[in-house]
Amino acid sequence: MDEHRENIPVMIKSQRGLGIEGVNRRALRDINNVMGAPPLPCALIKRGLSGKPSADHQTRHFAGHRPITRKFSASLANKPPFHQGSDRRHGLVENEKNKKTVTSVPNANDSENFTVIDVDEYMETYDDHQVPTFVKHTEAILEEMEAMSNCELDEIEMKDLVEETVPDIDSCDSKNPLAVVDYVEEIYTFYKQIENSSCVFPTYMSHQNDINEKMRAILIDWLIEVHYKFELLDETLFLTVNLIDRFLERHEVVRKKLQLVGVTALLLACKYEEVSVPVVEDLILISDRAYTRDEVLAMEKLMINTLQFNMSVPTPYVFMRRFLKAAKSDKKLELISFFMIELCLVEYKMLNFRPSLLAASAIYTAQCTMKGFKHWSRTSEWYSSYTEDQLRECSRLMVEFHQKAAIGKLTGVHRKYSTFKFGCAAKAEPARFLLDA
C-alpha cells in the first residue's frame, strides 16, 4: 500500500488548523485583474488577525495565488480609504444595526482570516464618478435598447390591430401551389417598387415628328379587336400596349411604319405570354398585307434590342388580379373593371397614372357603377395601398370615357364588352355621381 502511494504524483499534506490529511486544493483565481479597477463585490480580502494588512503582504500571494509585484503591493497598502471614519476603513462597511459575520476560512498554507463584504453596502461606498466607465456605458445601451424594444412592441401591436380588421385574402389558396401564398406579398411589394420602370414619359409623343396621340389611339383600338379575334390572353394585350409605348418613347417612327410597330409588339407579347403563338403570316394577313415577313422580323429585332430584351414588367393586369381578389369580386365586377381599364389603354392621357393606380381606380369605378354609391372597402385600401381620395381623379376620367365609349370612331372596346361573352358590361349605367363629387 505504501509503495502504491509513493507512485501517486499528488502531494498530500496536513492542513493547518484542521489536523487532517487531505489534498492541497488550488483556489479559484481572481478574474478582476484590471489595473486600477475597484475590487469586485463579495470579494474575499486577505487580512491579518489584527484587521490590518499583514507585514509580509508585499511578498505573498492573494487568495487566488496570483503573484503580485512589490510596486503594485506598495500602492495597495498606501491607498487611502474610500470614506474616512471609524466605521469605514479600507472600503469595509459595518452596519451598526446588523453586523456582518466574519467568517474564518482555513487555508492549507496559513490560518489568516477573510472578511466577506456585502454587495449592497459595498455599492453605497461609491459615488457616481467612481463607477467604472464601461458600466455606465453598458447601462446607457441597455436603456436605449429597452426604449427601442418598447417602440417596436408598439408598432407590432398596431400592425396586429390592423391585421385583425383586414382579412387574409390568401388563406383560401393555401393548398394551391400556383397561388404561391408564401411569396405573394413579397412579389407584389416588388411589383410596386419597379412599376415606375415600366412607365413611359407622359409627353413622349412630342418627340415624334410624324405621328401623334390620335394615331396611337387608332392603333391600340384596332389591336384590341385583333386580340379579341385571336382569343388571346388578357396579359398579352396589356403587354402589347406597354411595348408600343416604350418603343415609341425611345425610337422615332414614321406613320407608315406605325401599324408594323403594333403588329410586331403583339407578336413579341404572344411569344412571352401565350402557349400557342400566332404565326407571322397571320399577322401579315390581318394587316392587309401592308408588310412583308422580312419587314416584320426586322422590326422585331429592332424593337427587342431597343427595349434591351426587358419584357418582364408589371402591367395593370397583374395588379387587377390582386385587387379584384381583395375586393371579393364576382364575374360581373371583374368584367366591368376590365372594361374600364381597357378604355384607358386607348387614351394617351392615362399614361400619367401608374399601373397599380389604374387598376385600383378601375375596380373602384366598377364598384360604384354596380352599387350606385361610393364603395371602397378597408380590405381593398389595405392591399392596394390607395385610399379613396387618391383614386378620385383617375376614376372621374374613367366615368367620362364610359359615357362616350359608344360615340365616335374608336368604339372597339365598347363593341367587345357589349357581347354576351363579356356580360354586356359596356351597357351598365355610368357612375355620374362621381363627377359631381
Residue-wise pLDDT for 63-110, tens only, equals 444 455 555 556 665 655 544 444 444 444 444 444 444 444 444 444
pLDDT score recorded for residue 100 = 43
Q: Are 113 and 261 part of one and the same domain?
A: no
Q: Has residue 134 been placed in a domain?
A: yes
**Under 8 Å between Cβ of 342 and 415:** no
Looking at the structure, tell me whether residues 77 and 213 fall in a common domain: no
Confidence check: pLDDT of 126 > 60? no
Residue 242, pLDDT above cutoff 70: yes
Q: Helix or strand or coil: residue 245?
A: helix
Domain boundary among 123, 139, 155: 139
Q: Could you tell me if 202 and 340 lie in one domain?
A: yes
CATH number for position 335: 1.10.472.10
- Whole-angstrom Cα Rg for the chain: 43
- Can you give the residue range of the structural domain that contains 250? 191-436
pLDDT per position as a tens digit, 359-376: 999 999 999 999 989 999
Which contacts (CB < 8 Å, 24+ apart) does range 16-19 have?
Answer: 16/106, 16/107, 16/108, 16/109, 16/110, 16/111, 17/106, 17/111, 18/106
The pLDDT tens digits of the residues spanning 405-418 come to 999 889 999 999 99
Q: What is the pLDDT of residues 375-384, one digit of tens each?
A: 999 999 999 9
pLDDT attached to residue 433: 92
Tell me the C-alpha distance between 177 and 158, whole Å: 31
- Of 312 and 38, more confident: 312
Give the pLDDT confidence of 289-314 residue by residue, as tens digits: 999 999 999 999 999 999 999 999 99
Tell me the whole-structure pTM to 2 decimals. 0.64
Q: Into how many domains does the chain fold?
A: 2
Same domain, 120 and 205: no
Q: What is the mean pLDDT of residues 131-147?
A: 59
